[in-house]
Amino acid sequence: MADQTMLMMAVRGCNVGLMRGGAGQPLVILHGASGAGTWLPFMRSLADTYDVVVPEHPGFGASDTPDWLDNIHDLAYFYLDILDQLDLRAVHLIGVSLGGWIAAELAIRSTRRLSSLTLVDAAGIHVPGVEQIDTFLRTDEQRIRDFFHDQALADEMVARLLKPELEDVTMKNRVATARLVWQPRGYDPNLHKWLHRIDVPTLLVWGANDRLFPKDYAFAWQRLIPGSKVAIVPECGHVPHVEKPSVFVSELQSFINGMRAAA
């Protein structure tokens, strides 16, 4: 199980935090609204096989909040710049929730540096008539609980994450999230028109019991991205990579191995 290094890197004058570990084909993970957090078990496990790169979005955590940051499009272009600057090639791009939205926006602009795309319980599109939680009217504790199907695990996460020393970074992440997703709430009305442009193998991993972006969303993405595959993780909420890390890693591995077999 590979360890990671943490560093700050400057991209076009914006300092961003970056965790990186392992070796192999590059695998970039774009985090969700609650931030990059720590080097999680699924990252550790993927780092056995890949060069795992986890940048912290501008506006979040230790990264700067640049003046130019207004919307998801800004981050999509910024990450294209990061891929250029790090000169990463044949990247497996994983986007989780909010990060999934960024990853999809990046991929409709250019897949030049991508080998595959994986969206995990992603924001970014709107499916009419599907009930969703308004996370901005939830308390800090409710918001953590909403992520998980297993409420015993949620108890553990509440104990771990609801700490006074994390308040500043939590609030910074909330402000960054509001800036990006408040209106329209969590999607871009134009994104669905251009998802046909994604020409790399695409996997949609979804928690069967996600209450933020219920699994109808997985199938809606599947209809919009040509040839994409859906993997529903049973007994699992919004964050399968955290709630069911081994299932998540094995779904991802078999998807990537399947790509190799097909190639």
Partner 1 sequence: MKVFNFHLMPYRHADLDAIEKNGSAWVTYSNRHYDPDKGAELYHEYLDQMELADRLGFDGVCLNEHHQTAYGMMPIPGVLAGALARSVKRAKLAVLGRALPLLNNPLMVAEEYAMLDNLTRGRFIAGFVRGIGAEYHAMGINPVQSQGRFAEAHDLIVRAWTEPGPFAYTGKHYQFNYVNPWPRPCQRPHPPIWIPSQGSSSTIRWAAAMRYTYAQTLSPIAVVARFFQMYRDEAEKAGYQASPDQLAWSNTIYVAETDEKAMREARPHLEALVNRFLKMPIEMLLPPGYSNIESMKRVRAAKVTGKTSSIEDLVKTGVVIVGSPNTVREKLAEYQDLAGFNTSLTKTQFGTLPDDMARANMTAIAQEILPHFRNRAPQGKQQAAAE
**Cβ distance to partner 1 smaller for residue 53 or 176:** 176
* Smallest separation, CB 79 to partner 1 (Å): 21
In sequence order, the β-bridge partners of residue 122 are: none
What distance in Å separates the CA atoms of residue 197 and residue 225, rounded to the nearest whole number?
8
* Smallest separation, CB 134 to partner 1 (Å): 8
**Cβ distance to partner 1 smaller for residue 185 or 223:** 185
**Cβ distance to partner 1 smaller for residue 159 or 171:** 171
* Smallest separation, CB 126 to partner 1 (Å): 14
* Smallest separation, CB 163 to partner 1 (Å): 14
What distance in Å separates the CA atoms of residue 226 and residue 40, rounded to the nearest whole number?
31
**Cβ distance to partner 1 smaller for residue 190 or 246:** 190
For residue 25, report the phi and psi dihedrals to the nearest 5 degrees. -65, 140
Q: Which residues contact 143 (CB under 8 A, 6 or more apart)?
A: 135
Footprint of partner 1 on this chain (CB under 8 A)?
136-139, 167-168, 171-172, 174-175, 177-179, 182-183, 185
Q: Distances from the Cα of 34 to the Cαs of 59, 60, 87, 198, in angstroms? A: 12, 9, 27, 27
Q: Which residues contact 7 (CB under 8 A, 6 or more apart)?
A: 17, 18, 20
Task: Pick the closest to residue 80 from 97, 103, 51, 50 (CA basis).
Answer: 103
**Cβ distance to partner 1 smaller for residue 70 or 156:** 70
* Smallest separation, CB 184 to partner 1 (Å): 8
Helix (H) or strand (E) holding 46, with range, is helix 41-46
Decide the pairing of beta strands 14-21 and 4-11.
antiparallel
* Smallest separation, CB 98 to partner 1 (Å): 14
**Cβ distance to partner 1 smaller for residue 125 or 176:** 176
Q: Which two tokens stand for residue 222?
A: 């599947």
